Structure 1
Amino acid sequence: MYTLETALPGDVELCYSIIDDARRFQREHGFIQWTDDYPSIETIRGDIREGKGRVLRADGSIVGYMCVDFSGEPAYQDIRGAWGRNAPYAVIHRMALHRERRGIGAADAAFRLAEELCLGEGVRYIRVDTDPLNARMRHILRKNGFQYRGTILFQGGDRAAFDKVL
Structure 2
Amino acid sequence: MEYIFRKATLNDLPQIWVILQNAIQRRKEDGSNQWQDGYPNPQIVEKDIEQDAGFVLADGDSIAGYCAILINDEPAYAEIKGKWLTDDNFVVFHRVAISEDHLRKGLSGKMLNYIEDFARNNNINSVKADTNFDNGAMKHVFEKAGYVYCGEVFFRGSSRLAYEKLLT
Structure 2 length as normaliser, TM-score?
0.95
Superposed CA RMSD in Å reads 1.1
Q: Give secondary structure in 2 for the equivalent of 1:57.
A: strand
User: Aligned partners of 1:144 and 1:60: how far apart in 2?
Assistant: 28
Q: Give the whole-Å Cα distance in 2 for the aligned partners of 1:99 and 1:9.
A: 21
> Are 2:24 and 1:23 equivalent residues in the alignment?
yes
Whether 1:88 and 2:89 are equivalent positions in the alignment is yes
Deviation of residue 155 (structure 1)?
2.1
How far is the alpha carbon of 1:60 from its aligned partner? 4.4
Counterpart of 1:131 in structure 2 is: 132
1:37 deviates by 1.5
Residues 1:149 and 2:150 aligned together: yes
> Could you list the per-position Cα deviations for residues 55-111 of structure 1 after superposition, in whole angstroms to 9, with x for gaps in the alignment?
011244211100001132000111111001010001110000001222211111111
Residue segments in structure 2 that go unaligned for 5+ positions in a row: none
Contact preservation (8 Å) 2:28, 2:36: no
More moved, 140-149 vs 56-65 = 56-65
- Take 1:97 and 1:156, find their aligned partners in 2: how far apart are those partners? 26
> Contact (CA 8 Å) 1:3, 1:113: kept in 2 or not?
no
- Per-residue displacement from partner, 1:27-49 (whole Å, max 9, x unpaired)? 11110211342111100000000
Q: Secondary structure in 2 aligned to 1:103?
A: coil
| Structure 2 partner of 1:69 | 70
SS in 1 for 2:85: coil
The total of aligned residue pairs comes to 166
Amino acid in structure 2 at the alignment position of 1:149: C
Structure 1 residue ranges without an equivalent (≥5): none
Structure 2 counterpart of 1:115: 116
Per-residue deviation, 1:114: 1.1
**1:67 & 1:30 partners in 2: Cα distance?**
24
Deviations 1:95-137 (A, max 9, x none): 0000122221111111111111111111111100000110110
Aligned to 2:6: 5
TM-score (norm: length of structure 1): 0.96
Q: Which amino acid aligns with 1:80?
A: K
